[in-house]
Structure 1
């Protein structure tokens, strides 16, 4: 069946209700409220290197599938590192940019990238999208990329795409009833260390509070943004990728998906972290502080998140990309994926060979990370029994 595939340079070209009705939306970051807020607050657009170029698939003028997409003029904010590929193009007198990617800007969270209506044949839809992506080669686009697809199997069936593996660290809820229950799954040494750290923070007079949905006030958001901005200024010398306007907009449009953890000392806020959540997962995104306190970051960003996930019976907690320090706090190595289609055949072959070599290194790192997880022997036996489960994706 032939579908009508269109590229849209503004998210407003979509009807928000139709977009949100696509059944494969599996995280807050794919909702119309989040994607439109990025554009309306100018976090993406002409001045950012992220030019909206979304895919809409229509049948009789009715939206039946979509992919969030952007023309990229650089590789910043993607968290899948291809700078070496860009340099190789440059050294051979070719342009790697612009390229097209399907991704959520500044958000390396695995999720569905092909959003589709229930009952529609996904293979047929993607075949139509594939032809549309191929046409980008005639518009000086060097390549197309699909970043952090939740399940790359369908997209990988297209022979044009090369599969790349990476590793993140996610926490999994093994039916814990309380935070103490989670601690009981750890080694005695690690369990005592976490309890000691929490007692020390309390002894310093630090209070930790969690606010969700309607409990979040504009004051909470304003202080969070102050922390967010200060973190980026200190680390990168700029105000951060996301603007105050963006956070204001999601505060009004999707507060029911937001959790804020705020630390106070003597009644004054000193640190804040922001999470998103849905019915199955928690996603840690941003953190900052105005007063440095040892170990406070781990409490606000990890342990409070684990407690919340247990209370809400959420299956997973993705605390953000990178960070081997997460392993010793119970976050397991988890494979993530990206797909890459380079239109230049010689560069495609070279990258294919690179990815074969890289795959072995990534898989070795994954196995090494599993060996240092802080779980006790009983829990390790449970984890071994569940090795190769679906969350780790294709081999």
Structure 2
């Protein structure tokens, strides 16, 4: 074997790679501050693993990919064998049903993703100076792993636009989806943001914030050492309720929030509403270098507009105060549009081993991409911003 050959290995525990090598690939920028996002850091993925939120019996079985050249780790990827399509937010249930109706076996499949996390970020994590060859090796290794084990497919979800272009050039099928993000146009405060909206939308948001303030308590915005174990006890109750209603069972275990307290609290903004001495609602956000990522919400009491206040408006307040460029409000939700969150395109990549089925999926993806583009254009035009604001944005794009 030549010294320039790249070796690919799949390992079942992230500890077999270690924090130094993993983070050198996943978040080298963190040496100067925060990672671009916390979701592919060693500490986040290990928290999922150590808490039992991924692993045996969860449908997310880790097989982390490692690319080495002459013994040096030059690339890694969070790869999982999936026995279902839950917790992905890029829906392929119709593909699974069609594949199995035709007599195939869709599961298990392989997924390069951050479990339970619909946030765009790098998925092919490569050490600086090895971008092209390590990225290619990780894709080839993942495809070969799927093919040699006679698995139906490989999926890389919520990858970056650059990764989507590179994957397409390597023969993977790109897929477009959409989310709603809030963008910070250098606002000095929340009123500065409101001034960019049409009068009707501005009035509606002020009304919603006023209604939310009438719930009869206090709102706490906690991060770092301000977050205490009792806050997680409360939030776990909220999260269980939301998880049971949306997914049947919560994706994360109670242990994940203990791991978050121990290892992730500096990455977290926890917004809690307290009334009559007890917490009644909360929103969990993660903090990146230039973005706030809204993840989970839950409550044990219903109060008008409190969801909008905790999840959307307090997130905007925090982003403005911290000088962050955007708030990513998670998957789906056209209702976010009226609250200043505009549609943006998200990306994924797909490989399907069966040639005939792959052709059918490719045709579907082409039609879907055109529909997503049209939807984004229409929704943006219906957005809450004053037309002059949009015209200026378009000129600056």
User: Does the TM-score normalized on the shorter chain lie above 0.5?
Assistant: yes
* 2:24 equivalent in structure 1: 21
Secondary structure of 1:209 counterpart: strand
Answering whether residue 260 of structure 2 is matched by residue 250 of structure 1, we say yes
- Corresponding residue number in structure 1 for 2:193: 182
- Superposed, 1:241-390 pairs within 5 Å as 241-387=251-397
Q: Given the alignment of the two structures, is residue 103 of structure 1 paired with residue 106 of structure 2, yes or no?
A: no
Pick from 122, 125, 142 the counterpart of residue 134 of structure 2.
125
The reply to whether residue 232 of structure 1 matches residue 235 of structure 2 is no
CA shift, 1:204, in A, is: 4.2
Hey, what does 1:214 align to over in structure 2? 225
Count of residues in correspondence between the two structures: 384
Q: Do 1:333 and 1:370's aligned partners in 2 also have CA atoms closer than 8 Å?
A: yes
What runs of 5+ residues in structure 2 fail to find an aligned partner? 30-34
Q: Which residue of 2 aligns with 1:4?
A: 7
Deviations 1:43-96 (A, max 9, x none): 111201111011111122221111111011111111111111111211221111
Aligned twin of 1:391? none
SS in 2 for 1:373: coil
Structure 2 counterpart of 1:198: 209
Indicate if the aligned counterparts of 1:123 and 1:154 stay in contact, CA closer than 8 A. Answer: no
Unaligned runs of 5+ in 1: 388-395
Instruction: Please state how far the C-alpha of 1:37 moved relative to its aligned partner.
Output: 1.0
Partner Cα separation in structure 2 for residue 94 and residue 233 of structure 1: 31
**Contact 1:102-1:145 at 8 Å conserved across structures:** yes
Separation of aligned partners in 2, 1:233 and 1:131: 38
The alignment status of 1:40 with 2:50, answered yes or no, reads: yes
Distance, in Å, in 1 between the alignment partners of 2:143 and 2:315 is: 42
CA distance in 1, matches of 2:129, 2:153: 30
C-alpha RMSD of matched pairs (Å): 1.4
Is residue 98 of structure 2 the alignment partner of residue 84 of structure 1?
no
SS of 1:94's equivalent in the other structure is coil
**Paired residue secondary structure (2:159):** coil
Find 2:85's aligned residue among 55, 62, 75. 75
Among candidates 157, 165, 169, match of residue 153 of structure 1: 165
Residues 129-179 of structure 1, C-alpha deviation per residue, up to 9 Å, x if partnerless?
2332232212121111110102222222202x0011001000111111101
TM-score with structure 1 setting the length = 0.94
